[in-house]
Amino acid sequence: MRLLLVIGFLLTSLTGFTQDCPNLIAPAAGATNVAVDSPITWEEVVGVTGYIISLGTTPGGGEIVANQPVGSVTTYNPPLGLPESTTIYVTITLFFFDQPDIICEPISFTTRNEVNPPTCTQLNAPVNGSTGVNVGANLSWNYAPRATGYRLTIGTAPGLGDIALNLDVGNVLSYNPPADFPAATEIFVQIVPYNENGIASSCIEESFITGDLGDPPGCTMLINPVDGQFNVALSPLLEWEPVPGATGYLLYIGRSPFENDVVDGAIFTDTSTFVFNFEPNNTYFVRIVPFNDAGQAVDCPQESFSTILGCGPFFDEDTGELVVLNPEISFPDIVGICLGQTPRVITATDPADGYRWYRVTDSGDLLVISEEATVALEETGTYVYEAYVLTDDGQGSVLECTSSSEFTVVASQEAQIDDFFIRQFGEVFNVEVVVSGIGEYEYALAIDGPYQDSPEFNGLTEGNYVLYIRDRNGCGIVQRPFRLLFPPTGFPPYFSPNGDGVNDLWNYVPPRLDPLPLKDIYIYDRYGKLLARINPNGNGWNGQYRGNPLPAAGYWYRAETFDNQVFRGFFSLVR
DSSP for 120-183? P--EEESPTT--SB-TTPPEEEPPPTT-SEEEEEEESSTTT-SSEEEEEEES-SEE--SSPPPT
Domain membership flag for residue 315: no
Domain that residue 429 falls in: 416-484
Q: Structural domain tally of the chain?
A: 6
Looking at 47, 79, 110, the residue that finishes a domain is 110
Is 345 in the same domain as 266?
A: no
Q: Residue 67, exposed/middle/buried by CB under 10 A (0-12, 13-18, 19+)?
A: exposed
Is 423 in the same domain as 504?
A: no
Is 141 in the same domain as 174?
A: yes
Domain membership flag for residue 392: yes
CB atoms within 10 A of CB 378: 11
Domain membership flag for residue 329: no
Looking at 209, 234, 253, the residue that finishes a domain is 209
Residue 545 is part of a domain; what is its CATH number? 2.60.40
Domain membership flag for residue 202: yes
Domain membership flag for residue 532: yes
Distance, in Å, from the CA atom of 514 to the CA atom of 254, rounded to the nearest integer, reads 82
Local confidence pLDDT in tens for the 575 residues of the chain: 333 333 333 333 333 334 589 999 999 999 999 999 999 999 999 889 999 999 999 999 999 999 999 999 999 999 999 999 999 999 999 998 878 899 999 999 999 999 999 999 999 999 999 998 999 899 999 999 999 999 999 999 999 999 999 999 999 999 999 999 999 999 999 999 999 999 999 999 999 999 888 888 999 999 999 999 988 888 889 999 999 999 999 999 999 999 999 999 999 999 999 988 888 889 999 999 999 988 899 889 999 999 988 888 887 767 777 888 899 999 999 888 998 888 989 999 999 999 999 999 999 899 999 999 999 999 999 999 999 999 876 666 788 899 999 999 999 999 999 888 877 665 678 889 999 999 999 999 999 989 999 999 999 988 899 999 999 888 899 999 988 876 555 888 778 898 877 678 999 988 767 788 999 999 999 889 999 999 999 999 999 999 999 998 889 999 999 988 888 888 889 88
Domain membership flag for residue 489: no
Cβ atoms of 95 and 102 within 8 Å: the answer is no
Is 85 in the same domain as 55?
A: yes
Is 92 in the same domain as 25?
A: yes
Is 364 in the same domain as 442?
A: no
Cβ atoms of 361 and 344 within 8 Å: the answer is no
Query: For the chain, what is the radius of gyration of the CA atoms?
Result: 40
Domain membership flag for residue 508: yes
Is 234 in the same domain as 300?
A: yes
Is 350 in the same domain as 291?
A: no
CA 59 to chain centre: 36
Is 386 in the same domain as 432?
A: no
At residue 351, the 3 state secondary structure works out as coil
Domain membership flag for residue 217: no
Is 137 in the same domain as 200?
A: yes
Is 105 in the same domain as 130?
A: no
Residue 294 is part of a domain; what is its CATH number? 2.60.40.10
Looking at 458, 484, 510, the residue that finishes a domain is 484
Distance, in Å, from the CA atom of 179 to the CA atom of 137, rounded to the nearest integer, reads 10
Is 446 in the same domain as 369?
A: no
